[in-house]
Amino acid sequence: MTINSEIESAAQRLLDAHRLSSLPVAVEEVAKKAGINLFPFDLGVDVSGVLHITNGVANIGYNPNESKVRQRFTIAHELGHFTLHHGSERVFVDNENYYQFIMFRTTNLASKDLKKEQEANAFAAALLMPQAIVKKEIQAYNGFDFSDSTMINELAKKFEVSTQAMSYRIINLAENNLL
């Protein structure tokens, strides 16, 4: 997947604006400093998160029954919708079975909606795993080996993301010659 420099820059600007440069990225703090209210809310088995904007007030609900790393990614994903797409929709739901006026994560989306979901995922990855910090951490390994799951697991713990998210981020950065 090609890295979108505009999305990378938007995530980095948000981190810079709030002077956040340590690991793990305090995604809840980023959202709150952006003026977004966060609510743990049992959204059901198939729903990870929701962004709802009413009268200029943004709220992110996230499923407290999911793992901490999933909650962090969900908040970052919904923050991505807020940052990149909030002028176009008022409600974004991260699930497969919601209806009408809703953005959600599925393979059955119209291409413009699927693009928004991919952009929100890319934003979440850039926010939680900033390119410069990932590069610095990988360089510290002196010969990073993509087949060594121990390294991926250690990095995932350091960034407080899933091993899958860490793997995708490293692969995407490597494919785009950003490591």
Model confidence at 168: pLDDT above 80:
yes
Q: Topology of domain 5-129, per CATH?
A: Arc Repressor Mutant, subunit A (1.10.10)
- Domain edges within the chain: 5-129
In the block, tokens 């699927």 appear at 114
Model confidence at 101: pLDDT above 50:
no
| Of the candidates 25, 51, 9, the residue with the CA atom closest to the CA atom of residue 134 | 25
Model confidence at 68: pLDDT above 70:
yes
- The pTM (predicted TM-score) of the whole model is 0.84
| pLDDT digit string, tens, across residues 2-31 | 678 999 999 999 999 888 778 999 999 999
Mean pLDDT of the residues in the chain: 83
At residue 102, the pLDDT reads 37
